[in-house]
Amino acid sequence: MNKEKELIDKLIDLAFAEDIGDGDHTTLSCIPATAMGKSKLLIKEAGVLAGIEVAKEIFNRFDPTMKVEVFINDGTEVKPGDVAMVVEGKVQSLLQTERLMLNVMQRMSGIATMTRKYAKVLEGTNTRVLDTRKTTPGMRILEKMAVKIGGGVNHRIGLFDMILLKDNHVDFAGGIDKAITRAKEYCKEKGKDLKIEIEVRSFDELQQVLDLGGVDRIMFDNFTPEMTKKAVEMVAGKYETESSGGITFDTLRDYAECGVDFISVGALTHSVKGLDMSFKAC
């Protein structure tokens, strides 16, 4: 079992445990166990659909006899009135899985919608929008899946799949040189093939990185567009470049036109509104 599936399975189990507890007594009290029915996923707001594949897994893990017919796939732009899928099975199962499925799909679709909006602004440039670790605890895998569905690129998944030397790491390590040198020695000692990215706060720090080398990507932290243009010229294509910090939707294109490879945007995941949809009997 790969790590992604393991995390999703654990999330689904925890979500059912917190929602259902020792039983959905509302449903169990008024719906016969033998009652069968259908529900449709009705879209109520324009956006980008995401989470269909996860929804199928939610239904399957709760009740493998449920049948899902998908009409609209992940990544498709949807509008009010669209029916994304119809699910058929025990009415008790439809009612008990409804909220978890909606919570996941509304959240993921909201993120995919926001990401698509950012990605469209970058069309025509060589810059891609990246997510961050500013995610809902426990839901990171799903939220990062939604970013990809929306047309963005995943940064590292967590602290384990890339080395990102940020300002605090640099300061605690005693400077740029020490931070990079220790990171490289660590990878060699542990036999790990991890990309190394370092954050710089000034042209002086950038020059230190360029003098030492040994990294894969350089992040310009809180640089203005003018500073970013100069920084990209200094790097001269030797390393990947990334802009981060203080970048808004309105200034996104300005940074892209400076020639950076990536722009990381915490807003893709940390403060997104869910896409409105409902699960109705049909």
**Residue ranges of the binding site for substrate:** 99, 132-134, 156, 166, 199, 221, 244-246, 265-267
Residue of 40, 44, 99, 230 with catalytic role = 99
Query: At 251, phi and psi to the nearest 5?
Result: -105, 0
Place of tokens 């899985």: 97
Q: Angle 101-28-277 (CA atoms, 0-180°, nearest 5)?
A: 25
β-pairing verdict for 163-165 and 196-200 = parallel
Is 99 annotated in the active site?
yes
Neighbours of 112 (CB within 10 A): 31
Number of H helices, E strands in the chain: 11, 12
Residue of 40, 134, 148, 201 with catalytic role = 134
Is 128 annotated in the active site?
no
Q: Extract the annotated binding site.
A: 99, 132-134, 156, 166, 199, 221, 244-246, 265-267
Burial environment of residue 262 by CB neighbours within 10 A (0 to 12, 13 to 18, 19 or more): buried
Neighbours of 41 (CB within 10 A): 26
Is 217 annotated in the active site?
no
Burial code of 169-204, b = ≥16 C-beta within 10 A, e = fewer?
bbeebeebeebbeebbeeeeeeeeebebbbbbbeee
Is 230 annotated in the active site?
no
How far apart CA 118 and CA 130 sit, in angstroms, is 10
Residue of 98, 143, 199, 205 with catalytic role = 199
Residue of 57, 63, 88, 221 with catalytic role = 221
Is 53 annotated in the active site?
no
Residue of 148, 166, 195, 253 with catalytic role = 166
35, 91 contact by CB (below 8 A): yes
Active-site annotation, residues: 99, 134, 166, 199, 221
